[in-house]
Amino acid sequence: MDNKEPEKTPKVSKSFLTVGPTLHYSHKNVQRCWLLAVVAFSIASLVWSRIATGTFWAFDLASQTIPDFWRLDQTAISGGSIFEYPWQIVVLGLLMGVMAVVPVLISQLMSFGHCFIFLLAVFFLADLPGFAIFLLVSCLAVAARPLRFRSRIVAIALCMAPQLIYWGVFGSARGLEPLEWGFSFAPWIWAWVVGLAIAGLVLGIGHYTRYRPGLIWIFTTTTLLLALGVFEWKIGFDELDYQFYVVKNNPAAVPEFRDHSLRDLLDRTVDIAVDPQTDSRDRQRVLSMLFAPTERIPLREMMKEQIQIKLRKGDWPSWLDVPPELLYQETRKQLEQQYDRFIRPPKPWWIPEVIQQEILARRARSDRMPIALYYKGLLNEYSPDLRRIKRDDLLHFYSDHPHERALATWNRLYTVADYNDSPESIEARWRVAWHTAAQEGLPESKLQAALDRAERILADANDMLVEQLARHENAPPVSDRLFSAFRPPATTVMTAVRLTELQRRIHELRTLIGPQNRNGADGAVHRLVRFVMLDPHGTEYEQQLETLLARTGEQDGLRDNILLAQAKLMADEQGRGKRLAELHRQCPKTDGGMQALYELTRLKIQLYQQKADKDNLVQARDMLASFLSLYPRSFYADQVAKNLADLPRPE
């Protein structure tokens, strides 16, 4: 009898990563459904990039920094901000929910290897590299055997913890009020709910269908279509592009168009030119060939003159080492390109021509088009004030004198039926009226007709402006309730302050080209047009006024306006006050005489603000009261009354 021991069955080691039940079906069917899921998920990632960054392909490895690598906080508040478009919470949550759960489901129901391409889509297509790393941990965990629970939904919920950590750490918007900071988590909370809902539906239905392939791509596509539908219904790509390409590029907020002192730049350049110990020998030789003076003061003045000459042509001198913050010409080109991307979206290679034409037609009907045209026109009006460079060593930009280069944009805003009833078209009317009036070289009869036409445009603009100001006055106050953080985007950029300033310009131009200023000796109308065309910020403005005054007769209606313009140029406050007072005494019944008194009231207030003593206060109040008594129905009367009420009474 053999005493042999029974042979032991060898133990088979189980792999750490498991294979899901879906792979038990036909390989071709599984691969087909997996590819459909890849396509749907990739489209969802591209749509996320389009909504979050304004472009379908935003990833740039060379420009990635540590904050950009993990970024998510700006998605909720930039572009389509959730505080201006609350439905963006739903859209972002739906798309993020898809990206957060679909790779995990693929890893659980198929294998970890099958989910890798989904992680790449999040990394590159959605431009969320940091989130892709957290997803990698989640997918690895759900495919691991220790977390292969009997309840698959419990495993999904547990393995989505990395996504929750990511949203909690990197999902909050910084620099906001506590209430807004709390609301900035709303898209990611909704994404978690959406992700669990998708997982519950896939696993719930899959439990009865034995996890056949097809459920994941169906629910991915359904959620993607739902997100696109909600976005297009409540926000739209026109509005999104408006936020990215127009709102962010307000020319008034661009640093390059703010005031910049040229004093240090000029001093450094003069130092190089006159310092025998300078290290910049090459630049010194260039400067010595260009400028004859060797003394600092005359050399400095000559350099300023050359800067003015070059800037008049739109460029800086080549011998000047211009810092980046002064290169406004490049900034102008970049901003104009941004506006044009909204006004006429470029055609991607993959969009058919028929669809592109429909996109352009729809964009042309956008309610935001007037604002884009307004910003573009205003950008092309910005010009350096050459007189401020000479007087203050300051690079200052102005936009209150129209230029020919912006006329086409203002004409479009004024003439196109879809835009000419917008608040922004009021500005276009003022500038078109100016160009209509400033047509030097025409016969007098045609000039008269042009001035009459400009007056009608200004009258129309004034009527629209009064209506807009009334709307601002009747606007409801801002709520301070719980949901006060949510505020709809402004329908116009023409604020009450801008409208009030524009109303003043409309009134002054309308008064200037009125019949009272067309009277006088032969050529009075031509002189009026010439005066309208003068740029108060040009270096030759004083000489141009002198020449025009010499050609003006004593009885010309324009004469008081020329004298007023000359008085306003005086730098000495005491001398300017005397000239204004004298002009008002000489011409109390003319538009120039009345404006002289108004400018005098402003000067007295300025003197009181500089030195708040009793004498200045009494003079300011007396001057304001005098204006109200002489011109109670003047355009300036309301502002003068307000200024008088704001001043304290003398003790």
pLDDT tens digit sequence for 183-230: 999 999 999 999 999 999 999 998 888 888 889 999 999 999 999 999
Amino acid at 302: M
* CA–CA dist 97, 245 (Å, integer): 28
Name the residue with tokens 């310092």. Answer: 275
Domain endpoint, select from 235, 260, 295: 235
Residue 352 inside a domain? The answer is no
By three-state DSSP, how is residue 262 classified? coil
Does residue 490 lie within any of the structural domains?
no
Whether the Cβ atoms of residue 13 and residue 91 lie closer than 8 Å to each other: no
Residues 241, 174 share a domain? no
Q: Percentage helix, strand, coil, to 5, in the chain?
A: 70, 0, 30
Residues 98 and 33 occupy one common structural domain: yes
What DSSP character marks residue 566?
H
Query: Do 227 and 261 fall into the same domain?
Result: no
Q: Which helix (H) or strand (E) holds 283?
A: helix 281-290
Look at residue 145 in the predicted model and tell me its pLDDT. Answer: 77
Residues 199 and 308 in one domain: no
Gap between the Cα atoms of 364 and 381, Å rounded: 23
Residue 150 has pLDDT above 80, yes or no: no
Those residues with Cβ within 8 angstroms of residue 49's Cβ, 6 or more apart along the chain or in another chain: 55, 56, 57, 58, 59, 125, 126, 127
Q: Are residues 264 and 385 in the same domain?
A: yes
Mean pLDDT of the chain: 91
Which residues, 6+ apart, have CB-to-CB distance to 24 below 8 Å?
Answer: none
Residue 247 and residue 229 share a domain: no
pLDDT band at 15 (very low <50, low <70, confident <90, very high): low
- Do 142 and 96 fall into the same domain? yes
Is-above-0.85 flag for pTM? Answer: yes
> Treating both helix axes as pointing N-terminal to C-terminal, what angle do 215-234 and 27-53 enclose, rounded to 10 degrees?
20
In this structure, the number of other CB atoms found within 10 A of the CB of residue 545 comes to 18
What are the tens digits of pLDDT across the range 608-640? 999 888 888 899 999 999 999 999 999 999 999
Q: Is the domain of 133 the same as that of 216?
A: yes
Q: Are residues 271 and 199 in the same domain?
A: no
Residue 28 lies in a domain: yes
Domain termination residue (choose one: 235, 251, 267): 235
Helices (H), 127-185: 129-143, 152-159, 161-170, 178-183
* Within a domain: 451: no
DSSP 532-565: HH--TTSTTHHHHHHHHHHTS-TT-TTHHHHHHH
Q: What are phi and psi of 383, to 5 degrees?
A: -140, 150
Q: Report the share of the chain in percent with pLDDT over 70.
A: 95
Nearest-angstrom CA–CA distance, 599 and 63 = 53
**End residue of a domain, out of 235, 270, 298:** 235
Q: Does residue 223 sit in the same domain as residue 279?
A: no
- State the pLDDT confidence band at 535, using cuts at 50, 70 and 90: very high
The C-alpha angle 394, 399, 400, rounded to 5 degrees, equals: 110
Answer yes or no: is 291 within a domain. Answer: yes
Residue 32 has pLDDT above 50, yes or no: yes
Averaged over 507-514, what is the pLDDT? 96
First-to-last alpha carbon distance for the chain, in angstroms, is 132
Q: Is the pLDDT of residue 22 over 80?
A: no
**Pair 287, 391 in one domain:** yes
Domain that holds residue 178: 21-235
At what angle are helices 129-143 and 161-170 packed, to 10 degrees? 160
Rounded Cα gap, residues 430 and 44, in angstroms: 47
- What is the pLDDT, as a whole number, of residue 504? 96
Indicate if 140 and 259 belong to the same structural domain: no
- Residue 489 inside a domain? The answer is no
| Separation CA 526–CA 324 (nearest Å) | 43
* Residue 1: predicted pLDDT: 43
Residue 70 lies in a domain: yes
**Selection from 224, 201, 216, 225 nearest residue 32 by Cα:** 216
Mean pLDDT value across residues 301-307: 94
- The count of structural domains within the chain is 3
Overall average pLDDT of the 360-376 stretch: 96
Which of 22-31, 150-159, 189-198, 273-282 has the highest mean predicted lDDT (pLDDT)?
189-198
Task: For residue 505, report the phi and psi dihedrals to the nearest 5 degrees.
Answer: -65, -40
User: Count of residues for the chain?
Assistant: 651
In a domain, 148, yes or no: yes
- DSSP 8-state class, residue 295: S
Q: Band the pLDDT of 12: cuts 50, 70, 90.
A: very low
| Spatial distance between the Cα atoms of 314 and 383, rounded to a whole number of angstroms | 9
Report the SS3 class of residue 261: strand
Q: Which stretch of 67-81, 207-221, 271-285, 336-350 has the lowest confidence by average pLDDT?
A: 67-81
